[in-house]
Amino acid sequence: MTLRLSTTDADFPATFTALVDARREADEDVSRDVTAILKAVRAGGDAVLADYTQRFDRHDLNVSGWSVTAAETRAALDGISTELRDALELAAARIAAYHEKQKPQDSDGVDAAGVRLGARWTPVDAAGLYVPGGRAAYPSSLLMNVIPAKVAGVQRIAMATPTPGGEINPLVLAAAQIAGIEEIWRVGGAQAVAALAYGTDRIRPVDVITGPGNAWVAEAKRQLYGVVGIDMVAGPSEIVVVADGRNDPEWTAADLLSQSEHDPTSQSILFTDDAAFADAVAAAVERQIPALSTSAVARTSWDANGAIIIVRDLDEAMPLVDRLAPEHLELAVEDPEPLFAQVRHAGSVFLGRMTPEAVGDYVAGPNHVLPTGRRARFSSGLSVLDFMKRTSFLSLDRDAIGAIGPAAVALARAEGLPAHAASVALRLS
The DSSP element (H or E) to which 159 belongs, if any, is strand 156-160
**327 tagged catalytic:** yes
User: According to the model, what pLDDT value does residue 25 have?
Assistant: 66
Instruction: Confirm if 7 and 312 have CB atoms less than 8 A apart.
Output: yes
59 assigned ligand-binding residue: no
- Confidence tier at 138 by pLDDT (50, 70, 90): confident
Question: Quick check: 134 pLDDT over 70?
Answer: no
> Residue 402: exposed, middle, or buried by beta-carbon count in 10 A (0-12, 13-18, 19+)?
middle
Question: Quick check: 172 pLDDT over 60?
Answer: yes
Sign for the pseudo-dihedral over CA of 105, 109, 111, 115: positive
- Confidence tier at 8 by pLDDT (50, 70, 90): very high
Q: What is the average pLDDT score of the chain?
A: 95
Q: How many CA atoms lie within 13 A of 345 on its CB side?
A: 18
Helix (H, G, I), strand (E, B) or coil at 187: coil
415 assigned ligand-binding residue: yes
Of 9-23, 89-103, 246-260, the one with minimum mean pLDDT is 9-23
**59 tagged catalytic:** no
Q: Between residues 266 and 27, which one has the greater pLDDT?
A: 266
Query: What b/e sequence results for 320-353 when a residue is b if at least 16 CB atoms lie within 10 Å of its CB, and e otherwise?
Result: bbbbbbbbbbbbbbeebeebbeebebbbbbbbeb
CA atoms of 32 and 315, how far apart (whole Å): 45
User: According to the model, what pLDDT value does residue 367 have?
Assistant: 96
Instruction: Confirm if 176 and 77 have CB atoms less than 8 A apart.
Output: no
pLDDT tens track for 79-88: 999 999 999 9
Question: Quick check: 26 pLDDT over 90?
Answer: no
Q: What angle do CA 327, 258, 297 make, to 5 degrees?
A: 105
pLDDT tens track for 239-271: 999 999 999 999 999 999 999 999 899 999 999
Between the alpha carbon of residue 427 and those of residues 298, 343, 404, 411, the distances in Å are 69, 51, 12, 16
Active-site pick, 219, 238, 327, 330: 327
259 assigned ligand-binding residue: yes
122: phi then psi, degrees, rounded to nearest 5: -135, 150
130 assigned ligand-binding residue: yes
The DSSP element (H or E) to which 143 belongs, if any, is helix 139-152
Enumerate domains of the chain plus CATH numbers.
Answer: 3-25+235-364 (3.40.50.1980), 31-104+122-230 (3.40.50.1980), 396-428 (no CATH)
383 assigned ligand-binding residue: no
| Average confidence (pLDDT) over 347-357 | 98
Question: Quick check: 27 pLDDT over 60?
Answer: no
237 assigned ligand-binding residue: yes
Question: Quick check: 394 pLDDT over 70?
Answer: yes
198 assigned ligand-binding residue: no
User: According to the model, what pLDDT value does residue 214 have?
Assistant: 87
| Average confidence (pLDDT) over 12-32 | 84
Question: Quick check: 325 pLDDT over 80?
Answer: yes
Active-site pick, 183, 219, 261, 328: 328
Question: Quick check: 24 pLDDT over 80?
Answer: no
